[in-house]
């Protein structure tokens, strides 16, 4: 759907991906009473060497999306195509092998490292699993990786608890890099870190991307950070994409009312910025029973009648700026009608 | 970080008991089953440090050999429980689903009976002997291990580092051996240590009731049982085995406590992490 | 200094004694809040900002913590010298506190109303029906829809943002003079954070409650505060009004913090982070705590600790760069 006309190679293509978690009730006999629609029909593409940002608030399904792409969670429906291979059709063993191409960086730097393993073994584990190097080469590579992420070789002999949060995240990054992946999914890579450390890790991610030609899917709630790191940004709300465009365009010309509210809610580090802030009413609805029509209509400042009944599709309003909103669809169609009229004349 | 004072004491007792049990032949001054009727019921003296019993057997020697019986039963029965519990618990925790439900209901049934009562009931089906005590106490004790292991496995199964291991393409076997197992080891070691104390006590109880180790084999429980009739005229008959039992149980418990603190990987280094976590936890609260 | 001081903290020191050493979590903090003012305390984890607040409320677990020295003058009377009983009268009544995670500070087995009524009855000596009316009024005020019904709900029935509203209502129910808010919006989503900050702003203007806001987020400071205190490793490094701080940060740490956060409005350019990481709290350096990360380090920084000096009127900085200028 998105960018299909573009013939340039895509690294990862996600097609109508859905992940529902069943809600069960009953102590002995469990009845299926509903689904948490964490990811509900998401499609996008990632091009080699770019960073695609995925922003949204907690519960919007962005982390589930990342895990479903990697098949750490089995999708309910839809396809994930990585370099032309449909991941969902692969056997467990084939999938296991292809994992070296796609790695992940986790949010909690402490919890994602096995406390009983030395750092050297943690970083070396992917190499060992994929059996690409012998022992001596592996040791060498681990030392190199430690150096690449800004740690020293002697750090390899220690255990994770001896490191600070920022250093642990560096270890996690080194592990992700160990088998030369093409795609790295970064799930809130800096949100658990202190401000001054965040900047260090962000810079590291940028440097590594340039050095190893990496492609990132960056999942985060911090719009300023996502905008800084990404070439394109997708905005997610209750399991669906509502807007997808380049990060410059998203900032300068946001079209979806949710994106606009999200951008205006960002607190900037300078005073007297209150003017024009859009404060959304209420909380995000539950993904078990998402609102009918457009999922945002319950909080949208510009709700129309159509929003309550019809779910807007994500369409290109020009220049690969995708928006899922009836308002923009109408304006877009008006423009189209206007154009065709002028063409006829 | 070193073991605390109390746990060092525990370790000392356990080490001493183990040493005594192993070297029983060398250090025991007399044959523990040799009847010397003319020495019957002597109080503690220079010849018999802890006195003698009705049949004139040297109590010190019997205590020393009793340590061997206690330790053997403690270790063997605990190992049987441990093995059964770890296998059943890991399967139950890792695979979940109906397997888990079935196994957990089974452990519920086992747990519904008091430990000691259960041991007595099963024991009545067997010929009382040391071997049957091994098995009965081993079988009775596995449910707690299974529950412990299951709980830990479930906790670790969803941890971020297991997810990370899956994301780098680790197989189930590797995840269990390298990521799950090392992380359940420390609670397991702690529980096992403390459990040995329980088993030693249970053995003494069974032997006291005549269901366990049979006379004349020296065991602390047997000694207590034989000594109870002379509680007023020869109190040392029950004092020494009672004290031995008390100290060994305290020893294993203290050691278990110390291991719990020591085996937490975060406290291993001491230094930075431990205290700042403390300060952090204060900050968060 | 002509204004009326509500709270004046002088040289507050709180240390933690652990089996591996002493942590000087707060080491000589001075601050003042006037009536109806808003002071922000900003710093990273471990900077001592929360411990400062806990010490002011005398909520430090002892042991391992101990308030080693200083004064916390509230209307001129030293809170550190009060008996525990007198302090109880101050807590929740004159000084109220809200925390980052409202779920852990609400009792899950009591309804929101019961918890509020309890506090109001305790401090205001009014009847329960009066207290309930007051509770509903406060809940309405913080924007809880259908407050009359929801007052009888248990905390888990509220969403994160609503829970924080309930906490605010509860904290303000006794008309405190000072509200200490410890990371009140950190656990919330951006759009919800905007709601809560908006609410706090409005309430402050309506009720005139002084607020001491603790946060790691400079954006929140810019949004809500008049004065700012920047903390680093247990010390105050800079203290001034909010406009000056953002326009003319003087301490290299403050400057570095501002520089290292991604700017939304700028074109993509490389971030300029503060290198290294905060010092080990057990082994604080002999000199300035920030010295090893500082770009403008001088020999003196490694030898001596700088003192907090008023470099410009109302702008306090603890850095040798300016001490020298002054001399």
pLDDT tens digits for C145-156? 888 888 888 888
Is the pLDDT reported for residue C75 higher than 90? no
> β-pairing, C95-98 with C178-182?
parallel
Q: What's the pTM?
A: 0.82
Distance of alpha carbon C182 from the chain centroid: 5
What per-residue confidence (pLDDT) applies to A5? 42
Q: What is the CATH number of the domain that holds C231?
A: 3.40.50.300
What per-residue confidence (pLDDT) applies to C222? 87
Give the DSSP per-residue string, C218-231. Answer: HHHHHHH-SEEEEE
Neighbours of A156 (CB within 10 A): 21
Q: Could you state, in order of their start, the residue ranges of all structural domains in chain B?
A: 5-267
Number of domain units in chain C: 1
A193 contacts C273 by C-beta, under 8 angstroms: no
Q: Would you say residue C24 lies in a domain? A: yes
CA–CA gap between residue C308 and residue C30 (Å, rounded): 9
Structure tokens belonging to residue A202:
């962000």
Chains that touch A (3 or more CB pairs under 8 A): B, C
Partner-chain residue, chosen from C21, C65, C281, that has the shortest CB–CB distance to B282: C65
C236 contacts C306 by C-beta, under 8 angstroms: no
Q: Would you say residue C56 lies in a domain? A: yes
Those residues of chain B whose CB sits closer than 8 Å to some CB in chain C are 270-272, 274-276, 278-280, 282-285
Task: Tell which wins on pLDDT, B281 or C16.
Answer: C16
Distance of alpha carbon C70 from the chain centroid: 18
What per-residue confidence (pLDDT) applies to A240? 92
CB-defined contacts B:C, below 8 A: 49
Read off the pLDDT of residues B132-157 as tens digits, 9 standing for 90 and up. Answer: 888 888 888 888 899 999 999 998 88
Neighbours of C313 (CB within 10 A): 7
Q: Which of C211, C284, C294 is nearest to C255 (CA)?
A: C294
Q: Cα dihedral sign for A167, A173, A177, A178?
A: positive
Read off the pLDDT of residues C127-179 as tens digits, 9 standing for 90 and up. Answer: 888 889 889 988 988 888 888 888 888 888 888 888 888 888 888 888 888 99
Q: What angle do CA C207, C212, C216 make, to 5 degrees?
A: 130
Residues 6+ apart with CB under 8 A from C76: C5
Interface test with A, best of C150, C185, C273, C289 (most A CBs within 10 A): C273
CB contact under 8 A, A114 and B171: no
C236 contacts C229 by C-beta, under 8 angstroms: yes
What per-residue confidence (pLDDT) applies to C202? 87
C293 contacts C274 by C-beta, under 8 angstroms: yes
Q: Which of B142, B146, B152, B88 is nearest to B115 (CA)?
A: B142
Q: Would you say residue C121 lies in a domain? A: no
Place of tokens 């925790």: B93
CB contact under 8 A, B279 and C16: yes
Q: Which of C77, C6, C12 is nearest to C38 (CA)?
A: C6
Place of tokens 């439900």: B101
How much is the ipTM here?
0.83
What per-residue confidence (pLDDT) applies to B108? 87
Structure tokens belonging to residue A221:
């709630």
Domain B5-267 is found in CATH 3.40.1010.10:
no
What per-residue confidence (pLDDT) applies to A102? 92
Q: Which of B201, B208, B210 is nearest to B252 (CA)?
A: B201
* CATH code that applies to domain A12-268+275-292: 3.40.50.300
Domain ranges, residue C64: 5-94+176-263+270-326
CB contact under 8 A, B278 and C16: yes
Which whole number is the average pLDDT over C230-235?
A: 91
Read off the pLDDT of residues C270-302 as tens digits, 9 standing for 90 and up. Answer: 888 888 888 888 888 888 989 888 988 888 888
> β-pairing, C315-317 with A77-82?
unpaired
CA–CA gap between residue A146 and residue A57 (Å, rounded): 33
CA–CA gap between residue A234 and residue A244 (Å, rounded): 4
- Judge whether B163 is closer than 8 Å to chain A, CB to CB: yes
SS3 string, chain B, reads: CCCCHHHHHHHHHHHHHHHHHHCHHHHCCCCCCCCCHHHCCCCCCCCCCCCECCCCCEHHHHHHHHHHHHHHHHHHHHHHHHHHHHHHHHHHHHHCHHHHHHHHHHHHHHHHCCHHHHHHHHHCCCCCCHHHHHHHHHHHHHHHHHHHHHHHHHHHHCCHHHHHHHHCCCCHHHHHHHHHHHHHHHHHHHHHHHHHHHHHHHHHHHHHCCCCCCCCCCCHHHHHHHHHHHCCCCCHHHHHHHHHHHHHHHHHHHHHHHHHHHHCHHHHCCHHHHHHHHHHHHHHC
Most confident of A206-220, B90-104, B190-204, C124-138: A206-220
C78 contacts C56 by C-beta, under 8 angstroms: no
Is the pLDDT reported for residue B6 higher than 80? yes
Q: Which of A147, A236, A228, A219 is nearest to A183 (CA)?
A: A219
Q: Would you say residue C78 lies in a domain? A: yes
Nearest CA in chain A to C47: A194
CA–CA gap between residue C218 and residue A54 (Å, rounded): 24
What per-residue confidence (pLDDT) applies to B2? 65
Kind and range of the H or E element at A33? strand A31-46
Burial class (CB in 10 A: 0-12, 13-18, 19+), A133: middle
CB-defined contacts A:C, below 8 A: 127
Kindly list the residues from chain C whose CB atom is less than 8 angstroms away from the CB atom of residue A231.
Answer: none
Paired residues of C27 in beta bridges: C13
Run means of pLDDT, 10 residues per run, chain A, 345 residues: 54 93 74 85 93 90 92 91 90 89 91 91 92 87 92 90 90 93 93 88 92 94 90 93 92 91 83 71 82 89 86 88 85 53 44
- Judge whether B179 is closer than 8 Å to chain A, CB to CB: yes
């Amino acid at each position: 759907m998105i960018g299909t006309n573009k013939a340039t190679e895509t690294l990862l293509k996600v097609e109508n991906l859905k992940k529902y978690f069943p809600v069960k009730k009953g102590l002995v006999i469990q009845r299926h009473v509903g689904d948490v629609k964490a990811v509900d029909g998401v499609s996008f593409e990632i091009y080699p060497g770019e960073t695609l940002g995925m922003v949204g608030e907690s519960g919007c399904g962005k982390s589930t999306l990342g895990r479903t792409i990697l098949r750490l969670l089995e999708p309910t429906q839809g396809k994930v195509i990585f370099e032309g291979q449909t991941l969902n059709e692969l056997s467990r063993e084939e999938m296991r092998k292809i994992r070296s191409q796609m790695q992940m960086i986790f949010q909690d730097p402490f919890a994602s490292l096995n406390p009983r393993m030395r750092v050297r073994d943690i970083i070396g584990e992917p190499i060992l699993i994929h059996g690409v190097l012998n022992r001596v080469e592996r040791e060498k590579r681990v030392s190199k990786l430690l150096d690449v992420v800004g740690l020293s070789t002697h750090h390899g002999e220690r255990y994770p608890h001896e490191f600070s949060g920022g250093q642990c995240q560096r270890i996690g990054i080194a592990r992700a890099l160990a088998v030369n992946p093409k795609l790295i999914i970064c799930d809130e890579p800096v949100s658990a870190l202190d401000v001054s450390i965040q900047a260090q890790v962000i810079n590291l991610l940028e440097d590594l991307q340039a050095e190893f030609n990496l492609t990132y899917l960056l999942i985060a709630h911090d719009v300023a950070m996502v905008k800084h790191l990404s070439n394109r940004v997708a905005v997610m709300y209750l399991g669906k994409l509502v807007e997808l465009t380049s990060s410059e365009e998203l900032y300068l010309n946001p079209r979806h009312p949710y994106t606009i509210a999200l951008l205006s809610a960002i607190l900037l580090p300078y005073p007297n910025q209150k003017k024009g802030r859009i404060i959304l009413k209420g909380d995000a609805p539950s993904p078990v029973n998402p609102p009918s029509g457009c999922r945002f209509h319950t909080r949208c400042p510009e709700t129309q009648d159509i929003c309550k009944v019809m779910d807007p599709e994500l369409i290109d309003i020009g220049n690969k700026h995708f928006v899922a909103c009836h308002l923009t669809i109408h304006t877009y169609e008006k423009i189209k009608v206007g154009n065709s009229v002028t063409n006829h004349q | 970080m070193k073991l605390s004072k109390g746990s060092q004491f525990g370790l000392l007792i356990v080490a001493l008991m183990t040493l005594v049990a192993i070297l029983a032949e060398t250090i025991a001054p007399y044959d523990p089953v040799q009847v010397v009727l003319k020495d019957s019921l002597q109080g503690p003296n220079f010849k018999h440090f802890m006195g003698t019993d009705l049949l004139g057997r040297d109590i010190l020697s019997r205590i020393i050999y009793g340590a061997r019986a206690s330790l053997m039963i403690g270790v063997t029965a605990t190992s049987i429980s441990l093995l059964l519990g770890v296998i059943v618990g890991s399967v139950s925790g890792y695979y979940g689903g109906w397997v888990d439900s079935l196994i957990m209901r089974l452990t519920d049934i086992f747990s519904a009976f008091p430990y000691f009562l259960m041991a007595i009931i099963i024991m009545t089906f067997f010929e009382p002997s040391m071997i049957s005590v091994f098995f009965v106490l081993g079988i009775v004790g596995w449910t707690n291990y299974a529950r412990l292991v299951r709980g830990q496995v479930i906790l670790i199964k969803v941890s971020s580092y297991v997810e990370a291991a899956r994301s780098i393409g680790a197989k189930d076997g590797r995840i269990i051996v390298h990521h799950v197992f090392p992380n359940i080891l420390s609670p397991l070691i702690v529980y096992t240590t403390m459990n040995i104390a329980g088993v030693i006590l249970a053995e003494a109880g069974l032997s006291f009731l005549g269901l366990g180790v049979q006379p004349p084999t020296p065991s602390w429980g047997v000694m207590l049982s034989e000594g109870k009739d002379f509680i007023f005229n020869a109190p040392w008959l029950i004092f020494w085995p009672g004290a031995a039992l008390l100290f060994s149980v305290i020893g294993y418990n203290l050691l278990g406590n110390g291991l719990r603190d020591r085996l937490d990987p975060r406290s291993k280094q001491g230094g930075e992490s431990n205290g700042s976590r403390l300060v952090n936890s204060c900050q968060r609260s | 200094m002509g204004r009326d001081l509500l709270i004046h903290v002088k040289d507050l020191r709180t240390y933690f004694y652990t089996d591996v050493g002493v942590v000087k979590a707060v080491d000589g903090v001075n601050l003042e809040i006037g009536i109806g003012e808003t002071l922000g305390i900003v710093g990273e984890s471990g900077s001592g900002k929360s411990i400062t607040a806990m010490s002011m409320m005398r909520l430090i677990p002892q042991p391992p913590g101990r308030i080693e020295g200083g004064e916390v003058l509230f209307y001129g009377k030293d809170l550190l010298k009060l008996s525990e009983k007198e302090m109880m009268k101050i807590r929740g009544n004159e000084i109220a506190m809200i925390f980052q995670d409202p779920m852990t500070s609400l009792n899950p087995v009591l309804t929101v109303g019961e918890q509020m009524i309890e506090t109001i009855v305790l401090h205001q000596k009014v009847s329960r029906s009066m207290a309930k009316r007051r509770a509903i009024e406060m809940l309405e005020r913080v924007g809880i829809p259908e407050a009359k019904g929801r007052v009888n709900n248990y905390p888990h029935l509220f969403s994160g943002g609503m829970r924080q509203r309930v906490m605010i209502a509860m904290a303000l129910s006794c008309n405190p003079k000072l509200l200490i808010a410890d990371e009140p919006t950190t656990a919330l989503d951006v759009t919800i954070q905007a709601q809560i900050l908006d609410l706090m702003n409005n309430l402050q203007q309506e009720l005139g409650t002084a607020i001491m806001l603790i946060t790691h987020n400079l954006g929140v400071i810019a949004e809500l505060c008049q004065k700012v205190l920047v903390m680093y490793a247990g010390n105050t490094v800079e203290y001034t009004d909010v406009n000056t701080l953002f326009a003319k940060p003087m301490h290299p740490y403050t400057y570095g913090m501002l520089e290292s956060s991604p700017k939304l409005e700028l074109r993509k350019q490389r971030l300029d982070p503060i290198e290294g990481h905060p010092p080990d709290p057990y082994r604080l350096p002999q000199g300035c705590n920030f010295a090893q990360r500082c770009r403008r380090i001088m020999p003196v920084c490694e030898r001596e600790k700088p003192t907090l000096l008023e470099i410009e009127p109302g702008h306090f900085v603890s850095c040798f760069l300016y001490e020298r200028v002054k001399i």
